[in-house]
Amino acid sequence: MLPPDPLLLAALLGLVLLVAVAYSSVGHGGASGYLAVLSFFSLAPAAMAPSALCLNLLVAGTSFLAYRRAGHFTPRLLWPFLLTSVPFAFLGGLAQVSPRVYMILLAAALLFAAYRLLAVVPSEQEESFLRVPPLAVALPVGAAVGFISGLVGVGGGIFLSPLVILLGWADAKRTAAASAAFIWVNSAAGLYGHLSRTPVDWRSLLLLVGAAFVGGLLGSQLGARRFPGLWLRRILGGVLLFATLKLLRAAF
């Protein structure tokens, strides 16, 4: 349920919009950010993952369309990871863990995302390249990312994108486009798994969806045209760190 207080509700919607702008500008759906924001308002863990995945579907889809229209999408970079990530994301969504274990896993995912936002600064100019990994590497990577993503309630972009860039498989723009598509498909698989055992209050999601949609449109359009957004990365990284500490304190 959303907070009944108008000021708290406005704060929640504003944070969701900020997360959507920041993440969609780099081809992500923002599930880790939404989970951080939802944790501030003490939503039940069972409702957090499906809610974040719903918002992820919207923002990642918007981001993918923007990058695809800009000519950055390469299917060959995407499908090897999807072959195994989709079924494992569904299995991750079906898996049941205790609230404490869930909060610990989520805190680890948020900490990794915060590191990416705070410590890794994208270059202003870089070479455009594509080196698709062999199936022997891509298939197990997709399975691992898919299962963890489905379990925690994220689309997997925070795990896949760093691997693609650090291992030199593609440049940042191609990575962002492939990650957006990867996130959308895995979010759908993970959400289906969650909905198989956890109902969602769709009416409560409408306002969140509106804020995420506006943020996703703005961020994806700016990102596809090389919007730096460094200040957004820093603010969001701080939010994720704070959420990580809050979750660990609740877990222990």
Tell me the residue ranges of DSSP E strands in 139-185: none
Provide block-wise average pLDDT over 10 residues at a time, the chain (252 residues): 79 88 75 82 73 84 85 90 92 85 84 76 63 91 91 82 82 84 89 78 76 82 60 66 78 76
99-119 and 45-69 helices, crossing angle to 10°? 30
* First-last CA distance in the chain: 25
Helix H or strand E encompassing 24: helix 6-24
Alpha carbon of 122 to those of 65, 174, 228: distances in Å? 22, 14, 8
153 phi and psi angles, rounded to 5 deg = 105, 35
The pTM score is: 0.75
Q: Identify the pLDDT of residue 213.
A: 84
Beta-ladder partners of 170: 130
Cβ-based neighbour number of residue 243 at 10 Å: 24
Q: Identify the pLDDT of residue 149.
A: 85
Q: Identify the pLDDT of residue 229.
A: 52
Give the whole-angstrom CA distance, residue 127 versus residue 168.
11
Give the whole-angstrom CA distance, residue 106 versus residue 53.
14
